[in-house]
Structure 1
Amino acid sequence: MENELIKMKYNKLVRDKIPKIINNDGKKAVTHKADKKEYYKKLKEKLKEEVDEFFISDEEEELADILEVIYEICDFKKIDRKKLEKIRLNKKESKGGFNSRVILDRIDK
């Protein structure tokens, strides 16, 4: 029993260097390369995972992880980051940002 192999399943997108880090730690990372459909699905799952982690930790590092996933999604969908920033600024101009801390409680008819 002492030499029993413990296997943990993840089935999640990880950073490119993670398998090597795992292998260097004396474990064996079993991976596969996602096709386009799986990759996009896993990117969206990763975005949710990173947002959830930020909710828990409230750390800058998690915000950086969120941004990294957003950049990967932009690259995958061929969305120029400058174009994304322009869309963000246009939306901020037309609808405002969030810095006024406005909370909508209800809408009365």
Structure 2
Amino acid sequence: MNKLVRDRIPEIMRASGKSPHVKRLDGPGLKKALKEKLVEEAIELKDAENIKEELADVLEVLDAIMENYSLDINEIERIKDMKRREKGGFKEGYFLMG
């Protein structure tokens, strides 16, 4: 399997009779795994029929990334707003061709 899973997944697997082999990550290993998990969740979001469920998963991973990098959501929002003012958002749907 070799992927980061939600905190209760090993417990849930054990309750169903499985014996998951888990390793607890922290520091740089956890940061790397969280970035990989974000990509995994983004791909699932891209192909999702239930966009709310997958978007919730993306947000959960983003929360964990912000916590592990000691980032403040207000600072991230300020940067997002600055970039929107400078370059715009994605509301118009412009798709660059060629």
Question: Do these two structures clear the TM 0.5 threshold for a shared fold by scoring above it?
Answer: yes
Decide which structure has greater helix share. 2
Which whole-Å CA distance do the structure 2 matches of 1:11 and 1:104 have between them? 36
Q: Indicate the residue corresponding to 1:77 in structure 2.
A: 69
What is the number of residues matched between the two proteins? 97
1:83-94 pair list within 5 angstroms: 83-94=75-86
Q: CA deviation at 1:53?
A: 0.5
Q: CA deviation at 1:105?
A: 2.2
1:1-109 pair list within 5 angstroms: 10-58=1-49, 59-106=51-98
Amino acid at match of 1:13: L
Q: Aligned residues: percent identity?
A: 40
* Structure 1: runs of 5+ lacking an equivalent: 1-9
Is the deviation greater in 25-34 or in 12-21?
A: 25-34
Runs of 4+ in 1 over 3 A off after TM superposition: none
Greater gyration radius: 1
TM-score (normalised: structure 1): 0.83
Which whole-Å CA distance do the structure 2 matches of 1:14 and 1:28 have between them? 15
Q: RMSD of the alignment, in Å?
A: 1.2
Which whole-Å CA distance do the structure 1 matches of 2:67 and 2:7 have between them? 15
Deviation sequence 1:41-71 (CA, Å, 0-9, x none): 1101100100011111142111111111111
TM-score (normalised: structure 2): 0.91
Which whole-Å CA distance do the structure 2 matches of 1:30 and 1:66 have between them? 25
* Structure 2: runs of 5+ lacking an equivalent: none
